[in-house]
Amino acid sequence: MIDEIDAGLHFSVLPEVWRIIVAASVEYSVQIFATTHSYECIDAAVKGSAGNDDKLALFRLTRRDGDIRATRVEHEGIRSAVDFALELR
Amino acid sequence: MTVGRPAPPQSASQLIVACEGIDDQEFLRRMLDHLRISERRIDQYRGKAQLPTYLRGLRDSTDFETIRVVGVIRDGDDSPGGAWQSVRDLLQRLDLPCPTGPGTIGTGRCGVDGITRSIGVFIMPDNNSPGALEDLCLRAVADSASLTCVDEFLACVAARTNVTCRQQDVPKARLNAWLASRADPTLRLGQAVAARQLPPDSPAFDPIKDFLRALAVAASEPDTHTA
């Protein structure tokens, strides 16, 4: 679990950070949970997971009617939304 | 990564009109202004090949949570029936509400929240004929004497220079040459609508105006959705 994964990092290094994280998770067969409020970080995650398209999913937490609901977005949906600068947070 | 990328659009609009390119976007913006439909957002999906990516992204985005009505506007090109089938198949593949035919609006629950939304599809220029936005605009100025001059000009250029555009681009060439022949030759397509060089009240625009009005009515209906 990596909370606020982009905290303290310049946005320009985020794609490489994600590339390394995704490669490590594949090599060691571990699942990474990372949180962020940053759109640039989501953008970087898409770029950093290129070639491992099925390894990335986004869970958006939304408060509705007093409850917090999680919505899963698959890699293709993330990539599509980022491509058109549509909001994912 | 794109340096200096602008923040994604934040929209509370319940109505999104999605179109192919910048000229369509400007035309629709001016036409929606003319119809006094101000609560709307107009997105470009950058050509028909990108429509699947756009719609998937829209469906999965946070933006979709506030959206109740989507209007998809696509060029018919050389096969309006094929264009309609392509959009219909896409909507079904993405589990989005599908209208019964072009020019109409379908309603159903969709998205991860299961909210009732409406989606309309309009195939330019009139849901039946081959062509695109430019063909529609040319109909609105069909009585203009200048069009004869434009055709003679384009024929002259072709004869003297062997420069000819693709057959499917002829309406674009005719319309752009016609716009360049106006008193203010600098106006682009959308601006020409706002300046009424392209008369927004022309009957030629009735089908697209009826469609846009229907979208606005659907978006203004009481929100009866439940997840």
The ipTM (two decimal places) reads 0.86
Identify the residue among B41, B56, B93 best suited for mutation to test binding to A, counting A beta carbons within 10 A and taking the highest.
Answer: B56
CB contact under 8 Å between B53 and A84, yes or no, is: yes
**Token pair for B94:** 């993405």
CA–CA separation, A33 and A36 (whole Å)? 10
Out of B1, B5, B57, closest to residue A81 by CB: B57
pLDDT at B1: 42
CB contact under 8 Å between B65 and A62, yes or no, is: yes
Identify the residue among B61, B93, B110 best suited for mutation to test binding to A, counting A beta carbons within 10 A and taking the highest.
Answer: B61
**Torsion sign, CA atoms B168, B173, B179, B182:** negative
CA–CA separation, B182 and B192 (whole Å)? 10
CB contact under 8 Å between A77 and B113, yes or no, is: no
Cα B122–chain centre separation: 8
Residue B2's pLDDT band, with cuts at 50, 70 and 90, is: very low
In this predicted model, what pLDDT tens digit does every residue of B49-86 receive, in sequence order? 999 999 999 999 999 999 999 999 999 999 999 999 99
Distance to chain B for A8, nearest Cα, Å: 17
- Is the pLDDT at A10 greater than 90? The verdict is yes
B45 touches chain A (CB under 8 A): yes
A-B interface: how many C-beta pairs under 8 angstroms?
73
B8 touches chain A (CB under 8 A): yes
Q: Are B49 and B24 in contact (CB under 8 A)?
A: no
What global pTM score does this model have?
Answer: 0.89
Q: How far is CA B186 from CA A23, B138, B153, B191, B199, in A?
A: 53, 18, 19, 9, 17
pLDDT at B4: 45
Q: Are A27 and A55 in contact (CB under 8 A)?
A: no
In this predicted model, what pLDDT tens digit does every residue of B108-159 receive, in sequence order? 999 888 899 999 999 999 999 999 999 999 999 999 999 999 999 999 999 9
Q: Are A34 and A25 in contact (CB under 8 A)?
A: no
**Any idea what the Cα angle at residue B37 is, between residues B84 and A88, rounded to 5°?**
65
Total residue length of chain A: 89
Distance to chain B for A88, nearest Cα, Å: 5
CB contact under 8 Å between A39 and B7, yes or no, is: yes
pLDDT at B113: 83
User: Nearest chain B Cα to A89, which residue?
Assistant: B62
